Amino acid sequence: MDERQLRILRELGELGSVTAVAEALLVTPSAVSQQLRLLQRTLPVPLTERQGRRLVLTDAGQALAAAAVDVETALARARQAVEEFVGRADAEVSVAAFHSAGAALFPPLLRALAAPGRPRLALADEDVPQEDFPRLTRVYDLVLAHRLDHAPPWPATVGATTLLREPLDVALPAGHRLAAKRRLSPRDVAGEPWITVHDGFPVLAVIDAIAAAAGRRPRLAHRINEFAVVAEVVAAGGGIALMPRWTMRPHPRLVLRPLGGVRARRHIDVLCRPERTARTAVRTVLTELRHAARAISRRDTEEEGAAEGAG
């Protein structure tokens, strides 16, 4: 039995005929009769009987119709509870991010949502191989994920919003011989020792592209995922590395140089299950993430313009 069938049985008890029920529910009499037959199949006792031309409820039918009132009341309360949950502007929203995105986007997000009545954040760091990010949407409302510019799109089972398309530059110690060049090529950097990520993480594909363009395989001296640690190892002379241009804080002993000849850019995307965005609080957080991302890219554009003007 389902809610619609119970509603029809209840209306039949009150209105006294299939035709009257059909008119009240804006359906055909045959549709009413069909639903009553389906309901009857689920129960071992008759629910209706004929009294002349009228179809009336048996004692069992009257008992079930009375119980249907309680069912409809409980369902109405359940719907109201869901509506209140979906509509709450100050509900908790869980957000996970890989490390550099969290460092860049969590602080402005917290500041934007600090006022009373705004969503309450539950933040987490999750740095996983690219193919594992969609699975995190089972646990978190919003997941900040990264993939390379030319990588396959995320699966259709999750919604994806691109926040940033961030260049990946070559990080060098400030005194490195290549630091004097404004732009580097794969041949320039292929012979250097490299600090790069573990297998399965998207930055590694750029190293493969450098190897293909330069005709030689770079030596991978160190495997470190956390960019803040990478920056310190580069500054200490441990090798060179690819670093995100916008989401990492400038390091006083490093220089970043753009890399030509290969596609060195990553997407920073927000992944979520489509049903999560039905919630007002989740949509609010997603909007603020977009604002924070735009501020980051706008700040970089303004800094580049100021540098060109000074030059």
> What's 53's domain CATH number?
1.10.10.10
Output the average pLDDT for the chain.
90
- Taking only the tens place, the pLDDT of each residue in 126-137 is 989 889 999 999
Say what the pLDDT of residue 121 is: 97
pLDDT band with cut points at 50, 70 and 90 for residue 304: low
Domain's final residue, options 48, 71, 86:
86
Please state, for a pLDDT cut of 70, what percent of the chain lies above it.
96
Q: Is the pLDDT of residue 204 over 90?
A: no
Number of structural domains found in the chain? 2
Q: Is the pLDDT of residue 306 over 70?
A: no
- Are 206 and 147 part of one and the same domain? yes
Domain's final residue, options 68, 86, 104:
86
- Are 56 and 164 part of one and the same domain? no
- Taking only the tens place, the pLDDT of each residue in 79-89 is 777 777 888 89
Q: Is the pLDDT of residue 14 over 90?
A: no
Sheet strands (E) in the chain: 48-51, 54-57, 92-97, 120-125, 142-148, 159-173, 193-196, 219-223, 240-244, 254-257, 265-272
Say what the pLDDT of residue 307 is: 43
Nearest to 11 by CA among 79, 61, 60, 51: 61
- Are 150 and 299 part of one and the same domain? yes
- Are 154 and 69 part of one and the same domain? no
Q: Is the pLDDT of residue 301 over 70?
A: no
- Are 179 and 297 part of one and the same domain? yes
pLDDT band with cut points at 50, 70 and 90 for residue 2: confident
Say what the pLDDT of residue 302 is: 54
Q: Is the pLDDT of residue 305 over 80?
A: no
Q: How far apart are the first and last CA of the chain?
A: 77
Say what the pLDDT of residue 303 is: 52
Q: Is the pLDDT of residue 311 over 70?
A: no
| pLDDT, average across residues 89-115 | 95
Q: Is the pLDDT of residue 193 over 90?
A: yes
- Are 111 and 45 part of one and the same domain? no
Q: How far apart are CA 254 and CA 178, in angstroms?
A: 12
- Are 167 and 48 part of one and the same domain? no
- Are 254 and 150 part of one and the same domain? yes
Say what the pLDDT of residue 52 is: 80
- Are 167 and 22 part of one and the same domain? no
Q: Is the pLDDT of residue 192 over 70?
A: yes
Say what the pLDDT of residue 24 is: 87
Q: Is the pLDDT of residue 176 over 90?
A: yes
Q: Is the pLDDT of residue 148 over 60?
A: yes
Domain's final residue, options 34, 56, 86:
86
Q: How far apart are CA 144 and CA 8, in angstroms?
A: 48
User: For residue 24, what are the domain limits?
Assistant: 3-86
- Are 105 and 77 part of one and the same domain? no
pTM of the model: 0.74
CA 78 from chain centre, in angstroms, equals 27
Query: Which residues neighbour 128 within 8 Å (Cβ) at sequence distance 6 or greater?
Result: 98, 136
Please state, for a pLDDT cut of 90, what percent of the chain lies above it.
65
Look up tokens 């249907």; give the residue: 68
- Are 78 and 56 part of one and the same domain? yes
- Are 114 and 144 part of one and the same domain? yes
